Structure 1
Amino acid sequence: MSSPIPAAGTCRVVLCRGCCCGTTDKHPDTDHRQQVDQLSAAAGVDLAVTGCLGNCERSNTIVVLPSPAGRAAGGRVTWLGRILDATLTQAVVDWIAAGGPGVADPPERLVPHVQPPGRRIAATAPADAR
């Protein structure tokens, strides 16, 4: 069964909550519940929480998929790593509010957090999907 396509202007956001992301053992100073709440309450965000994406060395990982308009404009899936505080999570929310991948460039604050896909995804995805 496939997931429904997000509404126009809505970006699907995949939040890793696997073996490292979202754990107080690895990130004791991060409010992981607040991060989920912040993303799920944001306009334009279709949040999916998932298990490990194989990106443990760069946890907490957030993956932003372009909206339909972003895809039409050539937007690509964007992986973000080390999103560990409310200000970085808000930068993700603000980017999505501005249109997200394909519509708006990531805020300067997020640029150092853009990264390649996690190991599990990279190993199975066709080269043109990365």
Structure 2
Amino acid sequence: MTVPAVGACRVVLCRGCCCGTTGKHPDIDHQQQADQLADAAGVALLITGCLGNCERSNTVVVLPSPAGRAAGGTVTWFGRILDPALTKAVADWVARGGPGLAELPELLGAHVQPPGRRLSRGRQADTEPVSAGTR
């Protein structure tokens, strides 16, 4: 079981109406995606309801660690994370420090997106913490 490091980045994985559903993405192993992100070194993974980016599902949001924020890192939203290589790139980036501490991999550049409509209007998403071994 991976235990999130104190002061680690947080990763938010949308599992609302479209993200993480076999109805919209039947060829994706959604549980494997969650497991891969949860197992990344030092990551605190939160599973959330709809973030309002349904047209760009699956959505993954990375919040910088306190050190990353102090270094200028900001919350980074990714859309269309539908391939194990993209999920691995997110996990590896976060394990290297994420926003503010590690350079964004080129593979992820085209997947950066604006915040979802729901959070842009100031609404909070419901989140549930997930740790490796408790899924």
How high is the TM-score relative to the length of structure 1?
Answer: 0.88
Percent pairwise identity: 72
Of 108-117 and 97-106, the range deviating more from structure 2: 97-106
Give the aligned partner of residue 89 of structure 1: 87
Q: Is the 8 A contact 2:40 2:92 kept in 1?
A: no
The 5 A counterparts of 1:1-130 are 7-8=6-7, 10-124=8-122
Question: Residues of 2 paired with 1:58 and 1:44: CA distance?
Answer: 27
Structure 2 unaligned blocks of 5 or more = 124-135
Q: Is the 8 A contact 1:31 1:85 kept in 2?
A: no
RMSD after superposition: 1.2
Could you say which structure has the higher helix fraction? 1
Question: Residues of 1 paired with 2:114 and 2:57: CA distance?
Answer: 13
How high is the TM-score relative to the length of structure 2?
Answer: 0.85
Which has the bigger relative contact order, CA under 8 A and spacing at least 6? 2
**Count of paired positions:** 119
Question: Residues of 1 paired with 2:92 and 2:34: CA distance?
Answer: 15
Structure 1 unaligned blocks of 5 or more = 1-5, 126-130
